[in-house]
Amino acid sequence: MLVLGIETTCDETAAAVVERHDDGRATILSNVVLSQIAEHAAFGGVVPEIAARAHVEALDLIIATAMAEAGRDFGALDGVAAAAGPGLIGGVIVGLITAKAIALVHEKPLIAVNHLEAHALTARLTDGTPFPYCLFLASGGHTQIVVVRGVGDYVRLGTTRDDAIGEAFDKTAKLLGLGYPGGQRVEQEAARGDPSRFNLPRPMLGRQDADFSFSGLKTALRLEAEKIAPLTDQDVADLCASFQLAVIETVVDRLRRGLKVFRQRFGAPSALVAAGGVAANQAIRDALLNLASQDQVALVVPPPSLCTDNAAMIAWAGAERLAHGLCDALDTLPRARWPLDQVGKPLPTDAGTAGVSPAIACPPAGRAGGRDARGPGEPADSVSPNTAPSVVA
């Protein structure tokens, strides 16, 4: 099953072609990512209007490059997948409408993919991780511990009560004058800093739930920085190292708790899986490895290029949904907000059987209109759920 994926929810314009084999294994045939860092750097963060316009300008070429690198033409595709949310709405519109146009012209099924589901399923793209597994989703907008029970079947065990983990990295970088994007810069500075110099709080440590909170840590860091301003290079490195250690100790405590709740409610997970841009952080990856070995659970962390935003994960999520007969109508709407637990799932095969329905043929997109195009799991009155990348400089 060959699927083209398109990702435009934030500041990366990306397209990829992924093949899902009948046994569930995957081959990434192409994975092209164009970062918009240069467009946004002067503003210290992503400017939604600039992002949307940059997606419009670049997307055609990025898709053509992905198809050429894969050595396939549109006619060979089994589906066209685009991230339909959550994200910056202008960019989401660009990607989804482009996918609809390709699907319509070439009569292919459209799959409107939830960006968070794509992060959640990446471990299956890279490692074929079986369900159920415990997901640590750590991105710029989300910090969650999730039970991944199947395609479209997610139970959230914990989430952040304020800032997302990537947001905390980005705000720390901004405060310390490290610029945008922040996470990677904080990690680089932390590598040459003293993590014990500043005694920053470990928010939520030891609590019974599996939630996170990062805004207090951010404030504590600001107060420490203000006390010793003006900052030397060593001060900045020490602040980054102390911040990163506080984040890591919090994450490990919260995940230990999340794994406990997982086992109590759902039995043993097949693995602890990390996903999202923050999972590209090597110090966090090392800490997860330690935790997993102490907790005697397998650890799956995709390579950094598949943790940060990319289109291979969108194509893969599209292929996984298509394999369950799930596809979407051409009037599917883009969504700025779209919680993971509102993603549609396949229906059980028989009443009372917790399986998934066998794959059905999605209608060709040219004829896919309204309710006929919904997947078998979608009730008629629900909202339709709708390797290293090539880096284009």
Quote the least distance from Cβ 276 to ligand KG4, whole Å.
Answer: 4
Quote the least distance from Cβ 168 to Zn ion, whole Å.
Answer: 16
Q: Which is nearer to ligand KG4, 108 or 254 (CB)?
A: 254
158 binds, among ligand KG4, Zn ion, none (CB under 5 to 8 A by kind): none
Q: Which is nearer to ligand KG4, 258 or 277 (CB)?
A: 277
Quote the least distance from Cβ 102 to ligand KG4, whole Å.
Answer: 23
**Residue 393 to residue 70: CA distance in whole angstroms:** 19
Contact residues for ligand KG4, defined by CB under 6 A:
10, 139-141, 166, 169-170, 181-184, 187, 276-278, 280-281, 308-309
Q: Which is nearer to ligand KG4, 85 or 141 (CB)?
A: 141
203 binds, among Zn ion, ligand KG4, none (CB under 5 to 8 A by kind): none
Quote the least distance from Cβ 294 to ligand KG4, whole Å.
Answer: 23
Q: Which is nearer to ligand KG4, 214 or 262 (CB)?
A: 214
Quote the least distance from Cβ 314 to Zn ion, whole Å.
Answer: 10
Q: Which is nearer to ligand KG4, 11 or 19 (CB)?
A: 11
Contact residues for Zn ion, defined by CB under 5 A:
139, 309
Quote the least distance from Cβ 136 to Zn ion, whole Å.
Answer: 14
